[in-house]
Amino acid sequence: MTPPKIHPSDKKPRRLAGLRRALGVPDNAPFIGPMLLIAGVGLALVGGYGYAAGWLSPQRLSPTQITTAFNRNFGAHPGFRRNHAKGVCVIGDFEGNGNAAQFSEATVFGARTTPVIGRFAIPGGNPEIADASSPVRSMALLFQLSNGEQWRTGMNNTPMFIVKDPKGFYDQLLASRPDPDTGKPDPARMKAFFESHPETAAFRRWVAAHPPSSSLANGAYYSINAFKLIAAGGAERYVRWAMVPEKAYAPVASPPPKDPGFLQQDLAQLLQQGPLRWHLMLTLAQPGDVTDDATQSWPADRTVIDAGTLTLKRAVTQDDGPCRDVNFDPLVLPHGIAASNDPLLAARSGAYSKSFNLRTREEANGANGAGAAIAAAHPTTREE
């Protein structure tokens, strides 16, 4: 039997009906108007982030310039992140205790358990770089909230950042480009960079006085940037956070272990013995505290709240682990947490997005075999 022909004018209502069902919108609810409003708000937000980061002007930096600079500094490694290329996935949960619920309506701060996917990483675009190549390590987390929202955060083991804006970060990448003859940055170029960016002094002093921890498990990790907590009644409070370990800090050995993957190997061994825990500590700003400059710390007397416990239970290779395809964009925030006016946030979001699109395209074109080669060379990153 020949199926009845559908007139073109009938297709639009049927498509809308299908879209209503997919989105769970009742048949009698208004649809086109709200969808257009949502689209307009979304475009405005994207445009705002782009303007804040400087992506919308040809005279300003772009995500492509940032990712290209990483490639020039570390070489091309298709299928990997342009920064923090070497890492390992972790799986666990976050047990909120309700202490921060008065400051934010985000459900993660309630007295409940939230599943977490995370990643520890070493800075740089080379996935085979030695763990001891930098004093900086990172912890990135994705909280899957019970209402379907996500909170993504990328933290470093330093409480401040080296520069205050995207231009400074790009200048640092240019200055630290390895000399072809030595394989190391030119000391004269680095000296000129530090002199032209005096805000780097606080970061350099802190790193000199705080040796990195001997393990990924006994180090603290900081949000660096400020964010805004929004309470159910609308009250707002700026905040920075840190994941503080229950495991006692110990400095890395001097000289550090020769094994280029000693941090990942240690993490795997510790997780075989049992879960690892950190406490989410929220530092509340006072009026007048700087919220748009990640190089400036807040006074030590600020109120700090223990908002709950992060428990990590397993480590999985990043080749096939759940963190592989996650873009840990710091602007993926649930209701109750909002971005501050720090220009680094929009810049990070733009560069992360560009890196994610590049590496997923490369994987689709067959570059995903590179990850298997790295895993074979470093078997301790596999699931333990």
Check if the beta carbon of residue 74 is closer than 8 Å to that of residue 124.
yes
Please list, in sequence order, all residues whose beta carbon lies within 8 angstroms of the beta carbon of residue 107, skipping any fewer than 6 positions away: 114, 145, 146, 147, 149, 334, 336
Catalytic residue among 77, 84, 197, 378: 84
77 is catalytic: no
DSSP assignment letter at 126: -
Burial class (CB in 10 A: 0-12, 13-18, 19+), 320: middle
Check if the beta carbon of residue 144 is closer than 8 Å to that of residue 106.
no
**How far, in Å, are 183, 184, 192, 193 from residue 187 at the CA level?**
12, 9, 9, 10
Tell which residue, 86, 58, 13, 45, has the closest CA to residue 323.
86
Tell which residue, 227, 288, 279, 221, has the closest CA to residue 104.
227
Looking up tokens 């934010």 gives: 104
Distance CA 180, CA 324 (A): 32
Check if the beta carbon of residue 155 is closer than 8 Å to that of residue 140.
yes
Angle, in degrees to the nearest 10, between helices 32-53 and 343-362: 110
Tell which residue, 278, 210, 281, has the closest CA to residue 240.
281
What ranges make up the beta strands (E) of 20-175? 86-96, 113-122, 138-144, 150-156
What ranges make up the beta strands (E) of 12-134? 86-96, 113-122
Q: Which residues are catalytic?
A: 84
